[in-house]
């Protein structure tokens, strides 16, 4: 199975990290093509394009200007250790063993606006380029046009067994870069809902954290079949068969 995650806006390049056997991203030539487009933009251009503050725009202009393809651990960090948003809080890699990082390297894939797809131990330089960014390029008006079928084809290359499935734990923004109808295996999307005001609702912070938690739980338990995901029961969530269907598996939590 392949577990898809979104990246995070919050990055950590300061904390001490474990010693791991890192790899390089597969689509660096694609990344370079994007950098060649965006590095010529001014801070004002980036501020408008990304809808971010002036300070963040200036920071990312510096990042784009200094970006290179021949980087190493001296400049970069493994993706799963660099991202620090809600999903990655749920993933909680601080408690992982080396074999669990190795297991994740085989089954977790992080969708990225700049890198396309990152394996957990792929080294990445700090960046901000969300998949929904309307960056014009030779393929079209945005990053979805730029990546086209590339990410889908890459995932298909990794889907080999009859029990394979894509477990979509990414946001809609990022999963929209994949073409589900072209995938060789089924897609299952876990949905996390909390009881609020007399009904179950998706509460963004909790749902993001639960998506990461499920991915981490799956790695630690070495799941081999999608059905095993229905046993997920961390933080009070449980599989809700009544609200689920074949492709959307709903997990609910009711805290009194």
User: How does pLDDT run across 76-108, given as a tens digit for each residue?
Assistant: 999 999 999 999 999 999 999 999 999 999 999
Q: What are the phi and psi torsion angles at 152 (to 5°)?
A: -65, -45
pLDDT at 256: 65
The first and second tokens of residue 90, run together, are 């749920």
Distance CA 40, CA 33 (A): 12
Query: CB within 8 A of 236, min separation 6: which ones?
Result: 253, 254, 255
**Residue 151 · residue 145 · CB < 8 Å:** no
pLDDT the model gives residue 255: 78
- What pLDDT, on the 0 to 100 scale, is given for residue 144? 98
The series of mean pLDDT values per 10 residues for the chain, 256 residues long, is 96 93 97 96 96 96 95 94 96 95 97 98 97 96 97 94 88 97 96 94 96 97 94 97 97 88
User: Any idea where the domains of the chain sit in the sequence?
Assistant: 2-11+72-253
| Residue-level pLDDT at 119 | 98
What's the whole-model pTM score?
A: 0.96
Tell which residue, 169, 173, 244, has the closest CA to residue 207: 169
């Amino acid at each position: 199975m392949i577990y898809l995650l979104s990246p995070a806006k919050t990055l950590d390049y300061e904390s001490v990290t474990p010693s791991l056997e890192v790899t390089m991203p597969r689509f660096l030539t694609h990344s370079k093509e994007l950098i060649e487009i965006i590095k010529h933009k001014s801070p004002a251009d980036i501020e408008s394009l990304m809808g971010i503050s002036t300070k963040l725009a200036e920071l990312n202009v510096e990042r784009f200007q200094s970006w290179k393809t021949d980087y190493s651990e001296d400049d970069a960090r493994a993706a799963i250790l660099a991202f620090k948003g809600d999903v990655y809080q749920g993933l909680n890699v601080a408690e992982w063993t080396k074999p669990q990082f190795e297991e994740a390297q085989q089954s977790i894939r992080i969708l990225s606006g700049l890198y396309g797809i990152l394996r957990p131990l792929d080294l990445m330089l700090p960046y901000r380029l969300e998949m929904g960014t309307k960056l014009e390029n030779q393929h079209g008006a945005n990053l979805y046009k730029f990546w086209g079928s590339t990410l889908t084809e890459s995932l298909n290359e990794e889907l080999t067994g009859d029990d394979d499935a894509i477990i979509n734990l990414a946001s809609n923004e990022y999963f929209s870069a994949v073409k589900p109808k072209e995938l060789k295996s089924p897609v299952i999307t876990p949905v996390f809902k909390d009881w609020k005001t007399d009904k179950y609702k998706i509460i963004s912070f909790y749902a993001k954290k639960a998506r990461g938690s499920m991915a981490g739980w799956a790695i630690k338990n070495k799941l081999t079949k999608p059905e095993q995901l229905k046993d997920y029961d961390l933080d009070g969530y449980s599989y809700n068969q009544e609200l689920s269907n074949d492709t959307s598996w709903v997990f609910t939590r009711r805290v009194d």
